[in-house]
Amino acid sequence: MFKTLTAPPQDKIIQIMGLYAADTRPEKVDLGVGVYRTEDGRTPVMAAVKAAEARILQAQESKGYVALAGDAGFHAVMRGLILGDAVAPERVAACATPGGTGAVRQILEMVQRLTPEARIWVPSPSWPNHAAITGHLGLAQVDYRYYDADAGGIDRDGMLADLAQAQKGDIVLLHGCCHNPTGADLSAQDWVDLAGVFEATGAIPFVDIAYQGFGEGLEEDAQGLRSLAARVPEMLVAASGSKNFGLYRERVGIILAVTDPGKPRDVAAAMLAHLNRQSFAFPPDHGARVVETILTDAELTAQWQAELDAMRSRMTANRRALAEALRAVTGSDRFGFVAAQRGMFSLLPVTEAQVAQLREDHAIYLVSDGRMNVAGLTEKTIPQVARAIAQVLG
Ligand code: PMP
């Protein structure tokens, strides 16, 4: 079976992880993989997570299976965290998945099953796995204009003009906050305008939110998604607990399908549980249990929020410091967008050859499209990175 086959292309983010690990230069700087890092380069377990794990270890008396859709308590806390009171709980079908990736995959599986003719509208650019999963499932993808690289912000007119072409039943993928890879987010008005597009076209929004709390704050980052949920009849949400709870390897994810109450909600819930059964049966429980433990305890919630606030502040400070250092070395404001953008990523206006040059000549690792993880910067490396970027970009 393997003799006649060739290996699949490697994901460009996974590829960069391997190259970085193999580099022996002590001054190497990893701005590639999308993992939060402290000033000393660690991705620690959050204290609130440790405390929740200690409680679980004490209290848990069974490792028996839970349910195909995961634990109802986890559903409830995640629904509250993400949707707030934007929609009645009776309208929401929830289903736990292995990570946010699992949520994206299972949602698209459901779309393929229910409406295989639907087109998937994906922002240009987007997290590469969106296109990979869409293609893997054989769904038709249409890219819509999103990022204006010259302005370092959103191409609003292009986005709205493209999405006006969506048809009833098409799926429009949106990033809830902290757009990956650009860091350019939708404004409150953009979300309102998009709601108008969904009302006019009958297309269905699919919001991928993997960084809630990394942008402006937990509530602020969900505002747009909530305002949309309050207006449209149906909406799909894929959420991840990897970043904001630091639970990367535990694979915490959830699908929230907003439907009409009653039969539609029950059908969606049953379909999602059924699809979990075919893919992996039961979703992982430990990370979900940690999230539930934190969010059902006021003290742990406060501790977790303080830790999350500190992570966000560090990323915002790094953005400001890098933009300032770049202003100092280039004498121009052409990288000012780095300070204005939000979340873990910004997209540098570089060619693949320049990314290779940054890696080979300066030991600075970016994803090949120019995506930079601002959490990988430190006070010490910011001047080194700014000088290298200025030199390579000319
Ligand atoms: N969506 C987006 C936009 C992401 O950036 C990520 C993380 N890289 C995910 C989903 C899924 O993350 P995970 O599967 O690790 O929870």
Distance CA(90)–CA(92), nearest Å, equals 6
CB of 244 shorter than 6 A to ligand 1: no
Calculate how far, in angstroms, residue 142's C-alpha sits from the geometric centre of ligand 1.
20
Residue 82, in any domain of the structure: yes
> Helices (DSSP H) in the chain: which residue ranges?
12-22, 47-59, 72-83, 99-114, 128-136, 156-163, 188-201, 218-229, 263-279, 286-295, 298-330, 337-340, 352-362, 381-393
- CB-count exposure of residue 40 (10 Å: 0-12, 13-18, 19+): exposed
Bigger pLDDT: 11 vs 177:
177
Whether pLDDT at 138 is above 90: yes
Percent of the chain with pLDDT over 70: 100
The interface pTM score, or ipTM, of the predicted complex is 0.99
In this structure, the answer to whether residues 85 and 180 fall within a common structural domain is yes
Query: Which residues are 140's β-sheet partners?
Result: 119
- Both 16 and 110 in a single domain? no
Cα separation of 173 and 176, whole Å? 9
229 & 95 share domain: yes
Residues 79 and 219 occupy one common structural domain: yes
Q: Is the CB of 100 under 6 A from ligand 1?
A: yes
Measure 20 CA to ligand 1 centroid, in angstroms: 20
Which pLDDT score, from 0 to 100, does residue 13 have?
A: 83
DSSP, residue by residue, 32-82: -S-----TTS--PPPHHHHHHHHHHHHH--------TT--HHHHHHHHHHH
The pLDDT tens digits of the residues spanning 86-97 come to: 999 999 999 999
Inside any domain, residue 3: no
How many angstroms does the Cα of residue 245 sit away from the middle of ligand 1? 13
Q: Report whether residue 34 contacts ligand 1, using a CB cutoff of 6 Å.
A: yes
In a domain, 304, yes or no: no
Whole-number Å distance between alpha carbons of 318 and 125: 23
Answer whether residue 49 is part of any domain: no
Can you tell me which atom of ligand 1 is nearest the CA of 102?
14
Q: Is 136 found in the same domain as 192? A: yes
Of residues 393, 351, 387, the one with CA closest to residue 370 = 351
Instruction: Evaluate whether residue 59 is within a structural domain.
Output: no
Q: pLDDT over 90 for what percent of the chain? A: 94
Active site residue ranges: 127, 208, 210, 243
Tell me, what CATH number does 352's domain have?
3.90.1150.10
Say whether both 81 and 39 belong to one domain. Answer: no
* The predicted structure's pLDDT at residue 9: 83
Closest protein CA for atom 4 of ligand 1: 210
End-to-end CA distance of the chain: 49
Ligand 1 touching residue 240 (CB < 6 A): yes
Residue 8 has pLDDT above 90, yes or no: no
Domain span at residue 142 reads: 65-296
User: Based on the domain organization, do 119 and 157 belong to the same domain?
Assistant: yes
Rounded to the nearest whole angstrom, what is the distance from the C-alpha of residue 208 to the centroid of ligand 1? Answer: 8
Residue 34: which residues within 8 A CB-CB, separation 6 or more? 13, 180, 243, 344, 345, 373
Q: Which atom of ligand 1 is nearest to the CA of 34?
A: 8
Task: Give residue 33's pLDDT band: very low, low, confident or very high (50, 70, 90).
Answer: confident
Domain at 227, CATH number: 3.40.640.10
Contact between 73 and 384 (Cβ < 8 Å): no
CA of 240 to the centre of ligand 1 (A): 6
User: What is the number of structural domains in the chain?
Assistant: 2
99 lines ligand 1 (CB under 6 A): yes
Ligand 1 touching residue 287 (CB < 6 A): no
Q: Which residues contact 25 (CB under 8 A, 6 or more apart)?
A: 363
Please tell me whether residues 137 and 242 are part of one structural domain: yes
> pLDDT category, 330, cuts 50, 70, 90?
very high
Confidence of residue 312 (pLDDT cuts 50, 70, 90): very high
Q: Tens of pLDDT along 44-72?
A: 999 999 999 999 999 999 999 999 999 99
Q: How far apart are CA 134 and CA 35, in angstroms?
A: 24
Whole-number pLDDT of residue 12? 80
Tell me, yes or no, whether 213 and 257 share the same domain.
yes
Last residue of a domain, one of 271, 296, 321: 296
Residue 60 located in a structural domain = no
* Span from the CA of 333 to the centroid of ligand 1 (angstroms): 31
Among 269, 296, 323, residue at a domain's last position: 296
Mean pLDDT of the chain: 96
Assess whether 217 and 363 both reside in one domain.
no
User: Using CA positions, which residue lies closest to atom 2 of ligand 1?
Assistant: 210
Same domain flag for 16 and 165: no
Contact 252, 99 (CB under 8 A): yes
Q: How confident is the model at residue 282 (pLDDT cuts 50, 70, 90)?
A: very high
Q: Which residue has the higher pLDDT, 10 or 296?
A: 296
- CA-proximal residue: ligand 1, atom 6 (nearest): 210
pLDDT score, position 326: 97
Least reliable range by pLDDT among 15-19, 251-255, 284-288: 15-19
Domain assignment present for residue 50? The answer is no
**pLDDT above 90: residue 10:** no
- Hey, which of 97, 107, 129 would you mutate to test ligand 1's pocket, going by the most ligand atoms within 8 Å of its Cβ? 129
| Ligand 1 contact via 242 beta carbon (within 6 Å) | yes
C-beta 253 within 6 A of ligand 1? yes
At 360, the pLDDT band (50, 70, 90 cuts) reads very high
Residues 270 and 136 reside in one and the same domain: yes
* Domain edge (last residue) among 296, 324, 358: 296
| Residue 6 covered by a domain | no
What residue type is assigned to position 117 of the chain? E
